[in-house]
Homo-oligomer: A and B are copies of this chain.
Amino acid sequence: MTEEGEAAISPATRIDRVMTAIRGRIVDRSLMPGSRLPSVRAQSKAMGVSVSTVVEAYERLAAEGVIRSRPGSGFYVSGSAAPLALAEIAPRRERNVDPLWISRQSLEAEGDVLKPGCGWLPASWMFDTGIRRALRTLSRAENAELADYGTPLGHAGLRQILARRLAAHGVDVHTGQVLLTESGTQAIDLVCRLLLEPGDTVLVDDPCYFNFHALLKAHRAKAVGVHYTPSGPDLDAFTTALQLHKPRLYITNSAIHNPTGAVLSPVTAHRLLKLAEEADLLIVEDDIFADFEEAPAPRLSAFDGLSRVIQIGSFSKTLSAAIRCGYIAAREDWIDKLADLKIATSFGGARLAASILALALTDGSYRKHMETVRRRLGEARTTTATRLARLGIEPWLRPGAGMFLWCRLPGETDATELARRCLDDGVVLAPGNAFSLSQTARSFMRFNVAQSADERVFRSLEAALHH
């Protein structure tokens, strides 16, 4: 076939065809590692394509590492070959159900796996239109925006948006009090680096987000759980823990509590802060679910004016989890030290990620998007609760917002055992004790209503319950 005869075929297809031919010859060993490829001219003749098509195909194969160029000598099949397409390591199902079990099972799940145990929305619920628009806009941005490190505090525009959002929740900050981080988790990690010494004690809610346990372990901190009630931590237990353990820090969720969906009451917030003041306790308030709120809940950071409370958050739950970016709002002198720690341990910030998020957040349709998400979550909470009730699984409370239902299993069902059984059906669950330091949530399970639309979740649960 001549070049002319190929005119109807796109250049991209022609390049692909050459690449496929070469790859085929490497796979069937007619081109061995280290051997020289046909010259560009010879290959062009042999396949009836233009010289520039072959050049481009060779360049791309070289970029992939399949072949290598030796200047002045041509192209060669790469020498010591790493396997071309090794299968991904399978999730390790046999692993103990430690705080990292759910994270890894959920993050490693692929294809057909259902994830009512994970802590995020399905990709189809996220703000992809806004992200797509932002990507197109940024493909035309200035070089510096695409190639340079971010400033130590991070993208000024995004920090301004955050300062305004914080103000809307009654947290008065200026942009110098807002530091961007690589994720919400990294935000807490940096705060721990700043405030904790190995061996320090940290209070967490029992139950709480399981990754707090893993994070504190990484800091060699001693975690102490405080029983959580539908209006916040149990204040008697909190007072006792302060006296007994002299903790340095308390880490909690504001707005919508993970895993229970509970909301801190103003009176608990106020008393909690008084106790914290007396005991010189610092507080990290994780506000990651802020945009799911139907009605504004009290924020410890607002009551306290960011004097002993640090607020952190991110955009992974509502905008995109593929674009990592979090923030810390705190006293300015702490922000300065946190910026130093950020440089020391991760250097520049993710400038492009922040630009994408800033564009998406100022996109006029973000508010509407979130209204839709909240409405869908409300519906999903009702539907899921109804379906679970049929199996005798009852929520501990009926949350007014958010994606979680914290549920008691019927009788004395062991949630971890149930999770193991359902995993065989390709259903990843979040058993209660992963959230509980005292291991008193053996019969509890956290359900993500946005990830529970599929009938198979309930069929698997039913079968596993009657095992």
Contact = CB atoms under 8 A, between A and B. Distances in A.
Interface string A125-152: 0111001110110111011111111111
Given A160-B85, A185-B347, A143 B126 contact: yes
Q: How large is the interface on A (under 10, 10 to 19, 20 to 34, 35 or more residues)?
A: 35 or more
Given A88-B156, A126-B143, A185-B346, A367 B100 contact: no
Interface in A49-80: 56-57, 59-60, 62-66, 68-69, 78-80
Contacts of A144: 123
A59 B152 contact: no
A353 interface: yes
A65 B322 contact: no
Q: Which of A127, A136, A340, A365 has the most CB atoms of chain B within a 10 A radius of its CB?
A: A340
A349 to B, nearest CB: 7
Contacts of A89: 153, 176
Nearest to A178: B82
A364 B63 contact: yes
B104 A123 contact: no
A170 B80 contact: yes
A56 B364 CA distance: 6
Interface in A77-103: 78-86, 88-89, 99-100, 103
A324 interface: yes
Contacts of A322: 145-150, 348, 350-352, 355
A356 to B, nearest CB: 8
A108 interface: yes
A211 B347 contact: yes
A132 B299 CA distance: 41
Interface stretch (A212-220, A276-284, A386-394): A212-220
Interface stretch (A1-9, A161-169, A403-411, A458-466): A161-169
Contacts of A361: 63
Given A104-B343, A147-B128, A367 B65 contact: no
A321 interface: yes
A321 B346 contact: no
Contact of A189 (B62, B123, B346): B346
A367 B62 contact: yes
A64 B367 CA distance: 10
A93 to B, nearest CB: 14
B168 A346 contact: no
A124 interface: yes
A252 interface: no
A289 interface: no
A355 B133 CA distance: 17
A348 B123 contact: no
A80 B211 CA distance: 34
A82 B149 CA distance: 27
Contact of A59 (B99, B323, B367): B367
Contacts of A143: 123-124, 126, 128
A147 B320 contact: yes
17 contacts: A64-B362, A86-B160, A103-B152, A107-B151, A110-B151, A120-B148, A128-B147, A131-B147, A132-B139, A149-B322, A182-B324, A215-B345, A217-B344, A320-B352, A321-B348, A322-B350, A324-B353
